[in-house]
Structure 1
């Protein structure tokens, strides 16, 4: 089966596809309270716009009331200039009030949508295969999600409450200009809007590619920064601070260039929009001025036309901003939705059952696998771990030892053969049930930047504090923990850097003890430690191995002499298997490795 390590995060069928993905979050299925909020918020929106387009009429009436020769319109209700001015102010306040009420009603809908989307993306990232994660950088992934969620936040708030209301307001104002004044007013306004929208959309589309490049450079700079900080010790060991700073500065230089192109194009867009709006405003005001001079219009009409043009200008300027932001948000969201559409390589089969472990018999039958089809790693590997027994897998680096543990845990699916636990193919059971039955102690235990208690309790989320302490005692780390000023509440630092290698391994062993799995994989669990610490931890590993089916992947052969079966791998093939004594007696590959390691230890 051919594999590719290439990952894709393309947009889901363009802008419309992205909007279709966001729409369900505005009308959440099965959440009546949220739907009521959306409908009520839309009602407030319409009421606010109706008040907004009626407000200039009171402004006109107040101005005309100051001219005694002007006959007040019917809607003036006999109020004088002062009364009409107060009504005008009340109308403006009501418009603002209904808009704020709309925003307050919709806020929970938007926040719930962001929470759902963020959780969905986070869960999906954990469902993606090991292959995907080792080909992506964590910093890049976090930035993609961060920008994508912000983009959705913007789209949810402005798509519903900016574009729709703007269209409604423009239609209402257009109707008023046509029926109250003249068709020419409507034509000028229509031409202005058409020119403005066309210019804005075309220039914004041109600017999108600058934004995309800027995003790429931003992601690259962020990746380099996180990568460098995660490897802080390595940077120090090689005195590479200046090199890392130069590398980061080079990435930021490219980002600077892309950001400047984005800023320059934005200035051009803003200036063009201002010219078009000003031309339309002047055109309408000239018509109104001519009407006042000819006696067809009052000064109040002139003021009202000006008020409507200002009312049009503000949302049009906002349209430019909103469209730019929406387009930029769509660019950001495309990457995130592309991530969501990245299919998991390893999936539960339809009808997958829950793994049942009665004895814990693990069988590798003619297992074939390669991370890349062009470079197979395992060539028909077969061996069995009998219930409660320990099988050690040894061999040189690159022979495929650690791959066996990953395949058993089903980080990858095999290309041929089968892996069975108590007769059940691991591909036919759910991944959750499979993972629950297997405990892994890796070569380098990585801890969360949290307390020691949290890290041990990670083995079983519902564990009590006493159970956590009991696991620590079994791993022989309880005395060390209780001697710390904060005890079990001590924070271990990023990736557990505040603890020594041996302390981290013991925490890892404690959380595996707490998990209490029937099958255990020790993946070179002590090879990164010094000899004294290794021998000490071997006792804890032997303790937790009792009564379990164990696969020990080892580099140091001294750690596997008590194994019930030793499998010797070389270039993806089993070249020998047997007990320690049997293999030494054969005088083959294992014996050669054993005596070479003894000589190296003696010379050390």
Structure 2
């Protein structure tokens, strides 16, 4: 098989692997968004300019080593284009000398071998490009991914509450699509255009203008059959992709919900469902394969018909004495170089379109701005005492409906403030706005007299230690999960925090002790164990203000008494906010706020509210009457 034929096969496989024609619902939405951007930007030029936001991550300005790589890459592309002409030309010279001089032209043969080696994909300048290009794209991929990750993590809670995590992660992963855009343009589009221009000049030099017309005709036919059949290819691939997603969805849901399948003894039912979906996948795959065979067959026919035509033209000119016999060999040998850009450009067009759609996700992320931002003159917060004051605070997640309505209270240094009330009354909202995950509609929140809107968010959140109701752990060791609260903590510091949280002895019974992995989201631990590790985190952090969101909800009575002692040690001399449904956990609170529909309806100590309150007393009576 010739070198050109193997190149054709490589391009065919590349097209088959990349042009799947699959389009999810989100892809369709992104295409619509792309069309809107095109209109608003005034066309493709304006649209492409919008991607200029990524340029600092793509162009290695200020990095001499990578700039040198870019220069070498462009120089190698130009040299390779020249070699694509010199190699077949040299072969023609050899044939001419063999037929006229009847001796071996050693110098010409050595030059031909050298040109072939230097133009080879594996041993020449192309191989050097394959070493250089990944180093450039690897650098930009790191820059893009880190920039995208940092941007997403800076976005406010309202964005993260509404986000589709899978879609966001997919967008981050597709930072590489921008690298692909640059690589395809530099490594495929530019060389392909140069090859076409050079080939038109070269064949007109070897033969005449009719050869140029023939090549143009082949290109038009190639483009036509490719565009026509690709419509069927995309339809079949879209159908296959949809069926494959159904297969993946069924496998994921069934395997991840093995317990439910087993509880209801539905293994046979799921097996039948999978068999039905697999039959559809196989049928769609066969239709897709047939479409590709037809596409490649039509493309190959156009290429071979053009080759036959140009060889007839060369033979005609040679037979009339208008060209030497070496011209025939040179044209035949160069034909692969002439037609390869057609395959490459067709593949590049489809890939560029796909990568633009993928990059649209990233562009959409980068154009999303955080709703909560530091003011220009923001300074780090300075907390010494820990006084927290809500001054006529009102807040709503949406217009027209307030989650908190005219809140006024003050938490004194070292005081524990208990927030009680029915679900949805606004207790968790208090903690969110205290950490400035949302901004207020009106009023102020002051910490040691400092308005939290006038200090940096990072310094503000460093002040708090939070024990959430639903603990989420990373899929790493117990030691690293606890140390996450204070990265410079020693192992002994972690052990002491876990002892204070009444979890140390339990951890030592795990298979690998503190080095035991907790599983995804802590699935290997019980609810009580997870909460105690969460409490250990806060103890290790030693924050100035502690926020406890139902911190003992999943803990048995014996363990709860141990943790209450640990929490008392933790909260001593620290301002503490406690959300509690079990009122027995807040009897020692310095201030209890009873909240109903975003308003403080009662406040005081536990004893004061039992004696003079109504709502709190009703809650206490109901809980006291519940069976243990």
Q: Pick the aligned partner of 2:592 from 566, 584, 588.
A: 566
1:132-184 per-residue CA deviation (whole Å, 9 max, x = no partner) reads: 233333333323433x2342343232221111111122222222222332122
* Pick aligned residue for 1:319 from 306, 329, 345: 345
Give, in whole Å, the separation in 2 of the partners of 1:183 and 1:374.
Answer: 75
Select 2:516's aligned residue among 471, 490, 507: 490
* 1:34 is aligned to 2:61: no
State the alpha-carbon separation in 1 of the partners of residues 266 and 416 from structure 2.
Answer: 44
Moved more, 534-543 or 163-172: 534-543
Residue matched to 1:59: 91
1:599 aligns with 625
Alignment match of 1:103 (pick from 119, 123, 130): 130
2:151 to 124, 129, 144: 124
User: Structure 2: how far apart are the matches of 1:224 and 1:345?
Assistant: 38
1:87 to 107, 111, 119: 111
SS in 2 for 1:30: coil
Q: 1:163 to 1:419 in 2, by over 3 A?
A: same
- Helix, strand or coil: the match of 2:578? strand
Residues 81, 195 of structure 2: 8 Å contact kept: yes
- Secondary structure of 1:450's match? coil
CA distance in 1, matches of 2:285, 2:620: 60
Aligned length: 586
Who is 2:411 aligned against? Answer: 385
- Structure 1 gaps, min length 5: 1-7, 71-78
- SS for the counterpart of 1:66 is helix
Residues 366, 418 of structure 1: 8 Å contact kept: yes
Residue 3 of structure 1 aligns with which residue?
Answer: none
Give the corresponding residue for 2:24. none
Query: Structure 1 residue 354 and structure 2 residue 386: aligned?
Result: no
1:252, CA displacement in angstroms? 9.2
1:221-269 Cα offsets, whole Å, 9 max, x none, are: 8788778877777777777888999999999999999988876765565
Q: Which of 323, 331, 335 does residue 305 from structure 1 map onto?
A: 331
Q: Deviations over 1:28-53 (max 9, x none)?
A: 23222211111111112211221122
Matched ranges for 1:282-431 at <5 A: 282-431=308-457
User: Separation in 2 of the partners of 1:512 and 1:312?
Assistant: 68
* Contact 1:569–1:575 (Cα < 8 Å) also in 2: yes
Q: Distance in 2 between matches of 1:168 and 1:39?
A: 17
Helix, strand or coil: the match of 2:185? Answer: helix
Of the three residues 534, 541, 552, the one matched with 1:508 is: 534
Post-superposition shift, 1:433?
0.9
Residues of 2 paired with 1:137 and 1:249: CA distance? Answer: 30
Measured at CA, do residues 414 and 252 of structure 1 come closer, stay the same or move farther in structure 2, by a change above 3 Å?
farther
Q: Distance in 2 between matches of 1:137 and 1:254?
A: 29
**In structure 2, do the counterparts of structure 1 residues 511 and 235 end up closer, same or farther at CA, with 3 Å as the change threshold?**
farther
Aligned match of 2:18: none
Written as runs of structure 1 = structure 2, the 5 A alignment for 1:264-279 is: 269-279=295-305
User: What CA distance in whole angstroms lies between the structure 1 residues aligned with 2:276 and 2:163?
Assistant: 21
Question: Structure 2 CA distance, aligned partners of 1:232 and 1:324?
Answer: 40
Q: Which residues of structure 2 form unaligned runs of 5+? A: 1-28, 39-43
Deviation per CA, 1:463-513, whole angstroms, max 9, x where unpaired?
A: 222322222232232222234342221111111122222221121111112
- Runs of 4 or more, structure 1, over 6 Å off, are 201-265
C-alpha separation between the residues in 1 aligned to 2:313 and 2:183? Answer: 37
Instruction: Give 2:188's aligned residue.
Output: 162
Cα pair 2:58 2:179 within 8 Å, conserved: no
User: What residue number does 2:142 align with?
Assistant: 115
| 8 Å contact kept, 1:211–1:328 | no
2:545–2:575 Cα contact (<8 Å) kept: yes
Structure 1 residues 250 and 355: alpha-carbon distance in aligned structure 2, compared to 1, 3 A threshold: farther
Separation in 1, partners of 2:115, 2:273: 58
How far apart in 2 are the matches of 1:256 and 1:126?
Answer: 42
Q: TM-score w.r.t. structure 2 length?
A: 0.83
Instruction: Report SS of the residue matched to 1:439.
Output: strand
After the TM superposition, which of the residue ranges 374-383 and 297-306 deviates more from structure 2? 374-383
1:478 aligns with 2:510: no
Q: Distance in 2 between matches of 1:177 and 1:305?
A: 7
Contact 2:602–2:613 (8 Å) recurs in 1: no
The SS at the match of 2:187 is: helix
Separation in structure 2 between the aligned mates of residue 349 and residue 474 of structure 1, nearest angstrom:
39
Once the two structures are TM-superposed, the CA of residue 21 in structure 1 deviates from its matched residue by 5.0
Residue-by-residue CA offset, 1:167-207 (whole Å, 9 max, x unaligned): 12222222222233212212322343355457657876998
Aligned mates of 1:141, 1:223 — CA distance in 2: 19
Q: Is 2:436–2:452's contact at 8 Å kept on the other side of the alignment?
A: yes
The TM-score with structure 1 as length reference comes to 0.87
Q: Mark the CA change 1:536 to 1:485 in structure 2 (over 3 Å): closer, same or farther.
A: same
Partner of residue 141, structure 1: 168
